[in-house]
Structure formats: structure tokens, C-alpha cells
Structure 1
Amino acid sequence: MTDLLGPNPRDRDQALLDSLLAGSAAVEEGLLRAAKSDVRSIAESGRRLLRAGNGLRLRPVLVLLAAQFGDPHAPGVVPAAVVLELTHLAALAHDSVRGAGAAGHTKTDPGALPETSIALLAGDFLFARASQLLADLGPDAVREQTAAYERLVTGQILSRTGPGEDCDPVAHNREVAAARTGSLTGVAGRLGALAAGTADFVGDALTRYGERLGTALGLTDDVPGPDIEHPFGVEVSTEPRPPRTHPAPGRAMRDALCKARQARAALQDLPDCAARDALAALCDAAASRARR
């Protein structure tokens, strides 16, 4: 994370770094608490899912950065970040069921649950824990998060069913990327702004930013290529790459570059600060990958 600010950070950049480091540590503690269970198989699955989200936890970082435009120390900021990551990890668990099912990985011990069922239930467990935390963030946060989760699930379904006969495959993949990845990155900006008590226009801009950035990252993840490097110096964790050939990788990359530029444009009305610079750097990282 220290790589974000360069070798000679300004005072405001150092203050942002200190805030992000403290917030990220609190998020990790919250995730560990949420994954605990007296049932050993659930606890083990929860720990595996936490490890699966290694690298930069993009959604929590977006929540923490969004909160910088209000009160970053407000009590709901860290729980909002934990909610977003738990939801993301639950989605990863559900995606792993699809991958394992396609590969024929099942448990054959009599009387034992198949591994795919454990993964599915572990995802449900994390989502239940996320829902408990979400309930304490207020009705506005509940409405925003549940709407985003509905879109995420819709995207998962669309990714499995594929485009219809009269549907452009590239447009279909763009819709999937917006739903599966853009939904949670968009609501990350919204929940961070809500928790920190920002002005409405700030929350709106951060939501647009996150939606567009997430779509760009989802599109680049959908095409084989090198991993994106965030200026924090670690890999961005977005969605697992599907093992298939994209129907038109050139068009997808152009779409991704366009979305990355649109995400950067969404920041122009926000106050000039280190948090805005960090958000812009994420756009630059996504655009750089789209050009490869």
C-alpha cells in the first residue's frame, strides 16, 4: 500500500496512508471475527475464503477512500467495508461451486457433504454474517447493498446462461461485467459516503466512479492477460477469470478503456485531495491493463 504515494509523500498523502493502513487492519479484524464458527468445517471454509481474497481488498479500500470525503473515523465505515468484502467472498464461494462442478470435483465419502455443497453453504454463512452487520448500518445502507447484491446474482446467472441468439456477445459480456463487478464496486463508494456522512453529490459521484471502474476491471478480467497491478503494489482482486476465450478481446479492451476514462471523469467534481488522487490512480491502472 505504501507504493501508492511514491518515494516522497506529501503531508496530506501520509495522513491518507496512515488512515488507510489503520482502516485496513480494522477491516481484517472484522473479517476474521465474521468468519469464526464453532463448526470446524465452516470455520475452515471461512479461512480459505479469506485467503482467496488476498492482495488488495478492492471493495474495502474503495469504502475507506470514499469515507475520506466525510468523517473517515465514523463508526459505520469499517463495518461497511467488512460487509462489502464478505459479500464479495460469498460470491467467490458460489463461483467456486460452478468451477468444481464443471471439473467433476465431488466428495465420495458416504454420508459426507460434497465439497461443492460446503463451499456453497460457506458462502451463505458469510453472506448471513454480512447481513447482520448491514442491519446496523441503517435502512439506506440496506437498500443500497441488497440492490447491488441482486445485480451481482443477476450477473452470475447471465454469465452462466450466455448471450441469447439475438444478443451481441460483447454487449452481453459488458452487461455481465457491470452486474458482477460494477455492482459491488459502485455500492462501495455509496456505502463509504453514507457511513462518513458526505454530501449527496459526493455519494453520487463515488457511486458512478465505482460502477465504471468495476465494469472496466470486470472486462479486463474476462480476457486472458497479465494481472493488473495497482499503485499500492499488489494485485487487484476482482473476479475469478473464467476459463474461456473471449468472443472479441479487442472490443472488450476498448470498452474497458472507455469505462476507466469515464470513472476518472466522475471524480472531477470531488474536492481536490489525496483520496481523489488515489481513486484516479486506480483508473490509470485499469486503463493501463486495457491497453496491453
Structure 2
Amino acid sequence: MGFAQLRTRITQPATGILEQLDLRAPAFESRIREVLEAAEDRLRDCLRGAPAPAVRTAGAGDERLRLLLGLFGAEFGEPWRQGVVEAALVAELVHLSTVRSATVAGADWLLARSAQLAARLGPDVLRLSARTAGRLTAAQLRALAGPVPGEDLVTHYVEATAGGDAALAAMALGMGALQAGAPARYVHALTVCGERIGVALRIAEDRRAPAGAVPAARRRTAALAEELMHERLDGARAAVGVLPSIPARRAIYAVCDAVAARTP
């Protein structure tokens, strides 16, 4: 199945996560929806010429959380700056490359496309993108190798399985802020917040995964990490608590609440 047959799957914004957030700011939410629509159009353009697995993965109803985090991060700078939507798309494309349904060909294509976008946004964004790709690879290798004798299972789980999600969420929030020209201390705080949200999200997703969807050992380890999940979410809230009290900060708090609500 080619692009022409699949393009309709991504003509509408996948705003599933946005529907779950208690933003308490109607004007802000309306503006974010408009930007998400523009981002979906840009994503469709990015996927022209993509192999079918890449298009299928992008149009499979993903909630676009990393894209949304990128847009939230940009709010702490100048969100109207050129390249902000593209920076958020870099994070989303890297995430999509890790989705199981992408296949090797699709994953490689999505990673290459994200690198092309990042290169156009300047050296800082490109470095962050490359660093994230390196972390994803390291996490995958750790997961394949398994825990070493005597290693705590939860520690290994956080570094390997959840490490990739941490890198992606940190990249999304940090890259959005970076491209929007936010102060360096804001970028740092948002990156730390993303790290913690990513770990908590992976734990929450694995805990509620149906039998057979993830390896049984991984699901059991995630169940042991419930307390850690809440600690990471508290840490995420604390990290952005020092930032200006704008609707985007409330939105990040709402993301934390939505992750906490993802329980079996």
C-alpha cells in the first residue's frame, strides 16, 4: 500500500493525548490545535516518497505526544519562530522510527528524514538529534544484553527499556524550547522534565499492556516500578516548577497527570 492510499490516515490531527489534558486555558488549547493541524500537514509533506511501512506507522493513530511536547517546550521561548514545528516533527519522526510496526526499512527512512529536518535547523538541533539517536541505540543494546548478574532489575529496566522513552521526551521538550530561542536554563529544566516523563510513561504503558503485548518479564518489572513512576512524575513537575507560570507549564503538569492515570 503506497502513500496515495495511506495519506488520508494523517490528514486529520491525532490529538488523542490533547483530549485527555485538563489545560484550563481554552485560548491556548485552541492555538495548539491549530498548530497541530499545521504540523500534520507538514508531516504529510515529509512522508512523500516514504516506503509504505513508514507511512503506515505515521498514520496508525499515534497520539503525537512527542510532537505535542515539542510545541509545549517552544512556548517558553518564541513559539512563532521559524522552524518550531519542524523541530517538534524531528522528535516525532525519531519516535515513529522506534515503533515496532515501522520495520527496518521504515525505521531507517524515518530516522534519515528526521536527520534531514534537523540539519536544516542548525547545529544545536542537529547535535541534540544525534545525541538522542545514540542514546536510543545504547538503550536497545542494553535491553538486548539483559541485566548483568547481580544487577537490580528495575535499574536495568529504567536504563534500557525506559531509557529510550526518556531520551525521546527530553529531546522533544528541549528541542522545542531550543528552536524557539528559550533561555538555556529553561531548555535544561525542560530536558530534565522530559527525562522523567519518559521513564514514567514507559512504566505506565508496560504496566497496563495486555498479556502478550510486551515480554512477561518486562511487564512484571514495570509492575514493581510503580512507586518509581510516581517519583519520576513528581520530579518532572518539580523541574518545570521553576519556569514561568504560563499555560504551557500547566499543560506539562496535565501531561504528568495523564501519565499517572494510565494504570491497569
TM-score, with structure 1 as normaliser: 0.78
SS of residue in 2 equivalent to 1:28: helix
Give per-residue Cα distances to partners, 1:33-88, cap 9 Å, x unaligned: 12111xxxx44222211123x24211110110111111111111100111111111
User: Match of 1:4?
Assistant: 21
Q: 1:170 to 1:4 in 2, by over 3 A?
A: closer
1:244 to 210, 213, 216: 216
Partner of 2:106: 122
Distance 1:167 1:96 in 2: 31
- Name the counterpart of 2:230: 257
Distance 1:241 1:179, change over 3 A: farther
Relative distance call for 1:43 and 1:258 in structure 2 (3 A) is same
- Correspondent of 1:59 among 58, 66, 69: 66
Gaps of 5+ in 2: 1-17
Q: In 1, are the aligned partners of 2:203 and 2:222 still within 8 Å (CA)? A: no
Q: 2:193 aligns with which of 195, 209, 214?
A: 209
Structure with max Cα Rg: 1
Q: Note the alpha carbon deviations across 1:212-262, whole angstroms, 9 max, x for none.
A: 001111122222458xxxxxxxxxxxxx95232334444311111110111
Q: Please, which runs of 5 or more residues in structure 1 have no aligned partner?
A: 98-118, 227-239
Q: Counterpart in 1 of 2:12?
A: none
Identity value in percent: 34
Q: Distance in 1 between matches of 2:261 and 2:231?
A: 12
Q: Residue 220 of structure 1 aligns with which residue?
A: 204
**Residue from 36, 47, 53 that aligns with 1:45:** 53
Distance in 2 (alpha carbons) for counterparts of 1:85 and 1:123: 12
CA distance in structure 2 between the partners assigned to 1:26 and 1:222 by the alignment: 31
* AA in 1 matched with 2:228: D
- 1:26: which partner in 2? 38
Q: State the number of aligned residues.
A: 245
The aligned counterpart of 1:150 is 134
Helix, strand or coil at the partner of 2:150:
coil
Paired position in structure 2 for 1:197? 181
Q: Is the 8 A contact 1:83 1:133 kept in 2?
A: yes
Which amino acid in the other structure matches residue 216 of structure 2? R
Task: Answer whether contact 1:216 1:260 (CA < 8 A) is retained.
Answer: yes
Secondary structure of residue in 2 paired with 1:165: coil
Structure 1 residue 24 displacement after superposition: 0.8
Maintained 8 Å contact 1:155/1:175: yes
Matching residue of 2:29:
17
Q: Give the number of the structure whose residues are more often helix, by fraction.
A: 2
- Asked if 1 retains the 8 angstrom alpha-carbon contact of 2:51 and 2:105, the reply is no
- The structure-2 alpha-carbon separation of the partners of 1:69 and 1:218, relative to structure 1 and needing over 3 Å to count, comes to same
User: What's the secondary structure of 1:289's corresponding residue?
Assistant: coil
